Structure 1
């Protein structure tokens, strides 16, 4: 497949948003191309097999709000098995390192924090979410840690109104073969140009002129689905410039979450799909998933500033930290059973530069600004443009479908 000289619709990015947009346009009769900088589809959804008996989602791994998640129907259509096991959170956390009495105390503090945040958001005034922490509460560092897992940042960097806008139905399932593998299968029938990095969109003339690493093409319309950090850093330039979009993207930076997979020899009596977390009273800590799908492994999850520190320390630092934490919780005998398999480094990925978006305090309204079309020709999608399902693959997918509908209306 070679780069066409012109198309009616160019979609930039083959992540969940780009795939959703391309599928929505398939039966429109419009000539369409998806321009993807990587050599694969899926964006921040990427499944690997680091050992013969372990499947690992380096990026998104959970079908959040599964009862409203379009990828559930897509998985069923493509015959991907869905695992409905209860997540390794709350009820499934192992007692080791976090006894039930302490865990109940922590969960009460967490629920009271969310209740205060809900009440404060009713004023309509934005603020850093950490203003809703109870001063001096011993669990505040761990509540910050939860934010790093959920938002990719600590609460001082999180908009209160944005945090409250997120919708979660509490139903979380998984794809047995991997969420990234599902996205790869979903992208198979689509016209995607790989290794095609877009650097500039000239919208000064009647037709859009799109400069890429493979050459230049013209298009009547374009759907831009790239992560906010690339727009904010002007890795893709607009001519004439779009300062309002750059500012909106800068107010919606990608926080950082990274995952690590450890091989586990001789699992012993460790439960399948159990959770593991220490009552460490600190933010710089991981959360662990024991034997996901019953596989002989432990998956670790790190977020926020600590994830960035570990990433910047170089390859292997995340695994070394995870092994030390797991051993501290399960005992020294466990060390010889653990081996590093793989780890993600989303902050170092040139086409992501982070995990998923959060609104900085005072910037909750920027999602709508980023999503708004320009001149009936430039359309914007991606998880950061979703009003309520941001930071998720299904939010990204739905935003791509929304942008495709806007494109079709504009042609009429």
Structure 2
């Protein structure tokens, strides 16, 4: 058995032929599963016999980072914590001694509850005009104000209103094309889908139930440090994908892995991503009830891509954090900066010093995923050149109109090309920051992407392409045990999350962001549902001790 940071971890399915009986089995080693296991393990009154089964070779689920691109680990999954109020995850970070940087909620992208006044750090790039809108201009821009007012006022809507897509809702509001494009880039993309897939009733419920306050939190270390912290002392079996679950009211549950290993328990908490349930990766005996199956199929989860680019110098304004982009390849970008981290030898090995992250989800991500990683990076760099390049040495940010997305990409959106070639990335980077949630990865370097074209470039016109040092594309659809981004408020799915969260026979419990009806899917939602499932088991096992 390979040794790990914690001596009670098992790096593989070595339980074949052994009878294992536990009090609680938690399937899924992401934040929801670890929150549940931690709560049960800490309870210390008869429920400490808990084991976590993780299909992947590391814990963390969608919390993962890469190294070698920048002088700090770069998150390829979630980057931010939500909210100052009622935040269990923030309390964990404070217990760990993290330094926490707060950003006003409304300067970021998931701002369903934001103020209508736009933060001074916000910018919008209107690709069809080739124009960057500053914060002061945004406060007076009719279309920008209008789109925020529409989504802000969802909290005032009747929760029993007939369901429709947000595309239909905006059409009923009579909005113009610019407002629609802003809604797609700002709200739908951040929710993880398109406006056509975004459900009105679930958006209303989310708006009315958000309790976490108007702050985003950035830690001084990778989010995987929270995974490390929560998993200390837990019994964890890695590389243990569950393929079959038997459950009965009198005997509890029995689980099988791919290689035939089995484990039995009194209770099961299932925290796998929605796509794993939708694609029937796990077989249930008896089969799941029709109501549960209907809820699983009605909750939407599309693909998500993060495009991460490292540069030798910054070519954007010093106060810039994020930009919402319409009629562009990347609907939203932001810049990141964290403290440098040295490896054990005191060396700092990184391709670039400055990082820009692009994010796309839903149908845009589906289309982009048909391109090679190299082509995705080229499209992203072309967009940044259009956004931040100057004309004749002018310092204005208003360059030429964004190249739409390019015709080639637009063709891909219209007719997904399944025959596209995949560019082989460059040499594999050594990991100077070993950790639980480190992604195996290869980075595409400057020379591999640009070859000899750079000699003729003018930095003023192509600042991104010229200073590009390396990049990485994270396509979450390709992660075997995730298969997409995260769930979104879905059309005709009102009530499905509550149905999904209901236990089966008092033996099988469900957790994960998809089971939380009142939170735009995030780390806080995952953590809260894990603790909710653990509390349900504690109430059943020891009701007098609550």
Alignment TM-score, normalising by the size of structure 2: 0.70
2:183 to 137, 140, 143: 143
**CA distance 1:268–1:159, shift in 2 (3 Å):** closer
Which of the two has greater helix per residue? 1
Q: Are 2:185 and 2:324, in contact at CA under 8 Å, matched by a contact in 1?
A: no
Aligned equivalents of 1:268 and 1:112: distance in 2?
Answer: 32
Runs (4+) of structure 1 exceeding 6 A deviation are none
- Residue in 2 that maps onto 1:181: 225
Q: Are 2:369 and 2:475, in contact at CA under 8 Å, matched by a contact in 1?
A: yes
**CA distance 1:230–1:16, shift in 2 (3 Å):** same
**How do 1:249-264 residues align onto structure 2 when only pairs under 5 Å count?**
249-264=296-311
SS of 2:67's partner is strand
1:79 to 94, 97, 120: 97
- Residue in 2 that maps onto 1:40: 58
**How do 1:240-389 residues align onto structure 2 when only pairs under 5 Å count?**
240-242=286-288, 243-267=290-314, 270-271=317-318, 274-278=321-325, 280=326, 282=327, 285-293=330-338, 296-331=354-389, 332-334=461-463, 335-389=465-519
- Give yes or no for the alignment of 1:108 onto 2:154: no
- Give yes or no for the alignment of 1:392 onto 2:522: yes
**Pairwise CA distance, 1:216:** 0.8
Deviations 1:68-123 (A, max 9, x none): 22111111111222122446544213477322436733321212322564454444
- Residue in 1 that maps onto 2:41: 26
User: Gaps spanning 5+ residues in structure 1: where?
Assistant: none
**Pairwise CA distance, 1:352:** 1.1
**Structure ID, larger Rg:** 2
**CA distance 1:283–1:261, shift in 2 (3 Å):** closer
**Pairwise CA distance, 1:395:** 0.7
2:133 to 91, 99, 120: 99
Alignment TM-score, normalising by the size of structure 1: 0.92
**Pairwise CA distance, 1:36:** 0.2
**Pairwise CA distance, 1:305:** 0.7
- Residue in 2 that maps onto 1:17: 32
Deviations 1:280-339 (A, max 9, x none): 4x3753311134348511111112211121123233343222211111101133121123
Aligned equivalents of 1:391 and 1:126: distance in 2?
Answer: 20
1:228 to 255, 258, 274: 274
Aligned equivalents of 2:536 and 2:124: distance in 1?
Answer: 51
Which deviates the most, 369-378 or 341-350?
A: 341-350
SS of 1:84's partner is strand
**Pairwise CA distance, 1:50:** 3.3
Q: Are 1:292 and 1:298, in contact at CA under 8 Å, matched by a contact in 2?
A: no
Aligned equivalents of 1:401 and 1:81: distance in 2?
Answer: 24
- Give yes or no for the alignment of 1:125 onto 2:155: no
SS of 2:275's partner is helix
**How do 1:165-244 residues align onto structure 2 when only pairs under 5 Å count?**
165-166=205-206, 167=210, 169-204=213-248, 206-214=251-259, 215-242=261-288, 243-244=290-291
SS of 1:142's partner is helix
- Give yes or no for the alignment of 1:59 onto 2:77: yes
Deviations 1:357-410 (A, max 9, x none): 124211121000000001000000000111212411111111011101111122
Q: Are 2:329 and 2:383, in contact at CA under 8 Å, matched by a contact in 1?
A: no
SS of 1:8's partner is strand
Aligned equivalents of 1:303 and 1:317: distance in 2?
Answer: 17
**Pairwise CA distance, 1:190:** 1.8
Aligned equivalents of 1:376 and 1:95: distance in 2?
Answer: 50
- Residue in 2 that maps onto 1:7: 22
Aligned equivalents of 1:404 and 1:228: distance in 2?
Answer: 20
SS of 2:300's partner is coil
**CA distance 1:385–1:39, shift in 2 (3 Å):** same
Q: Are 1:272 and 1:290, in contact at CA under 8 Å, matched by a contact in 2?
A: no
**CA distance 1:283–1:122, shift in 2 (3 Å):** farther
Which deviates the most, 180-189 or 76-85?
A: 180-189
Aligned equivalents of 1:50 and 1:326: distance in 2?
Answer: 22
**Pairwise CA distance, 1:55:** 2.6
Q: Are 1:13 and 1:226, in contact at CA under 8 Å, matched by a contact in 2?
A: yes
Aligned equivalents of 2:477 and 2:200: distance in 1?
Answer: 24
Which deviates the most, 189-198 or 205-214?
A: 205-214
